[in-house]
């Protein structure tokens, strides 16, 4: 139950430049009037909310001059107004693990070192969620 926790991290693989449909369905079913928003709602107010995304593709591909011409910040931008301004949560940004895929759907393999480094950075990101009022880190 969300109310039992101070933070909510939506963790998902980037899927067609958004969250998987099942996560969107969960958000729609859970973030309802009376709980997440509304005159008397306190469900999300002040709760830290962040995203944790696995991208699969290299970080350089998510740049104005990269393969997809948009940054990860731009791709994930729709989540912020929903949680920050509509649900009044304490938006903390996102963590992204970028993989080593050369060609979409082909030859995906991150090294053990990349995975271990990503795990350590993600653990640090989660520790930073406990800092009330912090902006979080964007990796």
Tens digit of each residue's pLDDT (9 = 90 or more) over 7-56: 899 999 998 899 999 999 999 998 888 888 888 888 788 889 999 999 87
Give residue 104's Cα distance to chain centre.
21
Query: Please, what are the domains in the chain?
Result: 2-128 (3.40.50.360)
Query: What pLDDT digit, counting tens, does each position of 57-113 carry?
Result: 888 889 999 988 999 999 999 999 999 988 889 999 999 998 766 666 666 677 888
Secondary structure class of 47 (helix, strand, coil): coil
Query: What's the rounded Cα separation, in Å, for the pair 77 and 42?
Result: 24
Instruction: Report d(CA 33, CA 41) in Å as an integer.
Output: 8
d(CA 51, CA 122) in angstroms, rounded, equals 11
| pTM score over 0.95 | no
pLDDT of residue 137: 39
Find out whether 9 and 129 touch, Cβ atoms under 8 Å: yes
CB 8, CB 48: distance < 8 Å: yes
**The predicted structure's pLDDT at residue 6:** 84
Which pLDDT score, from 0 to 100, does residue 138 have?
Answer: 39
The pLDDT of residue 39 is: 83
| Percentage of the chain lying above the pLDDT 90 cut | 48
Cα dihedral sign, 53-58-64-68: negative
């Amino acid at each position: 139950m969300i109310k039992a926790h101070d933070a909510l991290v939506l963790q998902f693989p980037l899927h067609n430049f958004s969250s998987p449909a099942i996560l969107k369905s969960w958000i729609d079913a859970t973030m309802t009037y009376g709980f997440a928003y509304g005159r008397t709602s306190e469900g999300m107010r002040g709760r830290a909310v962040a995203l944790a995304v696995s991208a699969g593709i290299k970080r350089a591909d998510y740049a104005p001059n990269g393969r997809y011409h948009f940054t990860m910040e731009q791709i994930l931008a729709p989540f912020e107004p929903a949680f920050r301004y509509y649900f009044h949560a304490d938006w903390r940004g996102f963590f992204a693990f970028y993989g080593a895929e050369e060609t979409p759907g082909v030859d995906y393999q991150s090294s053990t070192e990349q995975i271990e480094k990503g795990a350590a950075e993600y653990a640090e990101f989660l520790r930073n969620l406990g800092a009330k009022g912090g902006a979080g880190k964007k990796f």
